[in-house]
Structure formats: C-alpha cells, structure tokens
Structure 1
C-alpha cells in the first residue's frame, strides 16, 4: 500500500520516463513535442493519457461545458470515424456524455489497457508500449483533421 505522496511521486516518475522515451520522436510535422502534455490547439479538445493502478488509457476527450456543443464535436469526430480507425488500426470505445474523474460531463473516444499498474515498475514497459504507437497515430490523424475543428 502506497501513501498518496508515494503514489504521486511514482506517477510523476513514470510520466518523466515516458517523456524521455518519447523525446526523440518528432510529431507529424517533424517538430519536437512534449508528448505527455500533448496540446491539440483547439479549446475543449484534449488527448488524454492515463496510467493508473488498474489500467492505462489513451483517448480524445471533449470537454465543452455546453452538452449540445460537446455533442456537435462528438458528431464531427463520428464523421471522421473511418479515418480515425484507419490511423489507429483498431476500434476504440465511443462514449457520449460520460463523467470524468472530477464529475464533469465529457465525451470520450478511448482505448483502455486493463490489468496494468503504474505503481509497479515492471508494468511500465507494457504501458509505454501501449501509449506510444497510439499517441503517434493520434498526432498523425490530428495533423490531417485539425483544420476542420478550427472554426468552432
């Protein structure tokens, strides 16, 4: 059992390690990028990576406070579903209007890796191997579709 501060320290160490591992990888435009803190450049659209005690996940989170606008963004991503699947080479889960860990209403398009624990360093390679190709694929997808979201 870990204390809250030990848990926080281990998670911070994981994200530093992930960032160092990803540092030499350029984004789709060939530029340096801070992969753990990926910025989409569009308000209320986030690429979220999580590493927790029971799972790791990566996804697109739509956080607009207006549920109708959130649904509009979600529908726009649904229009791009085949392109997204082609980039990711797998199906992801689509959830309209779910609750995040802070109790806010968000919509998500995500993939979860169950049965890993970020607090166990022997799981780090599994988590990194799960996150790396997916964040790179999301970046390539986003490089192609971002202009369609800039007018919102």
Structure 2
C-alpha cells in the first residue's frame, strides 16, 4: 500500500517521464507541444490521458454543462468518425451523456488499455506505447478538423 505522498510522487514521475519521452515529437503542424496537457483550443473539449491502477485510457471528453450543446459537439465528432478512426487506425468507444468519476454528465470517445498499473514501473513502457500513437493521431485529426468545431 502506498501513502498519498508516494502515490502522488509516482504519478508525477510517470507524467514527467511521458513528457520527456514525447518532448522531441512535434505536433502535426511541426511545432513543439505539451502532449501530457494537450490544449484543444475549444472550451469544453479536452483530450484526456489517464494512467490509473488497473488501466490506462485516452479520449476526447466533451464537458459542456448544456447537454444539448454537448450533444451537438458529439454529433460533430460523429460526422468525422471515419476520418478520426483513419488517423487512429482503430475503433474507439463512443459514449454520449455518461457520468464521469465525479458524477458530471459528459460525452466521450475513448480507448482503454486494461490490466496496467501506473504504480508498477514495469508497466510504464506499455502505457507510454499505448498513449503515444493515439495522442499523435488525435493531434493529426484535430489539426484538420478543429475549424469545424470553432464554428459551433
């Protein structure tokens, strides 16, 4: 069992390691980016990466408080589903109006890697290898499709 401080340090160490690993990778436009804290530039649309005890995940979260606007954004992503999945090279799980860990209603598109644990350093390469190509794919998609979301 880990103390809160130990858990926080291990999480911080993981995300620092991920950031250092991704630092030399430019975004789709050729610029340096902060991959672990990716900014979409659109309010209430986030690219989230999680590494927990038992799984890692990456996804798009739409968190607008107005569920009708949230649905509009989600449907816009659905319009571009083939382009997104082409960039990612795989199918993801699409969920409209689900509760997140805090009970807030969100919509999300995500991929989960089960049976990994951020607390076990030997799982870090597998988690990083899972997250890296997917955040790069999301960035490539977003580089081309962001203008369609700016108009909403």
| Structure 1 length-normalised TM | 0.98
Q: Cα offset for 1:103?
A: 1.5
- 1:44-64 CA-to-partner distances (Å, cap 9, x unmatched) read 000000000000000000000
| CA displacement 1:101-123 (0-9 Å, x = unmatched) | 22111101000000000000000
CA shift, 1:81, in A, is: 0.4
CA distance in 1, matches of 2:10, 2:115: 18
Matched positions, count: 152
Distance in 2, Cα, partners of 1:104 & 1:3: 28
Residue 90 (structure 1) shift: 0.2
1:84 and 2:89 aligned = no
Residue in structure 2 matched with residue 59 of structure 1 by the alignment: 59
1:126-149 CA deviation, whole Å, 9 max, x = no partner?
000000000000000000100001
Aligned to 1:5: 5
What TM-score comes out, normalization by structure 2 length? 0.98
Corresponding position of 1:119: 119
For 1:104 and 1:84, locate their aligned partners in 2 and report how far apart those are by CA, in whole Å: 25
Q: Match for residue 20 of structure 1?
A: 20
User: Could you list the per-position Cα deviations for residues 9-49 of structure 1 after superposition, in whole angstroms to 9, with x for gaps in the alignment?
Assistant: 10011000000000000000000000000000000000000
Unaligned runs of 5+ in 1: none
Note the 1:24-35 alignment, pairs <5 A.
Answer: 24-35=24-35
2:105 maps to what in 1? 105
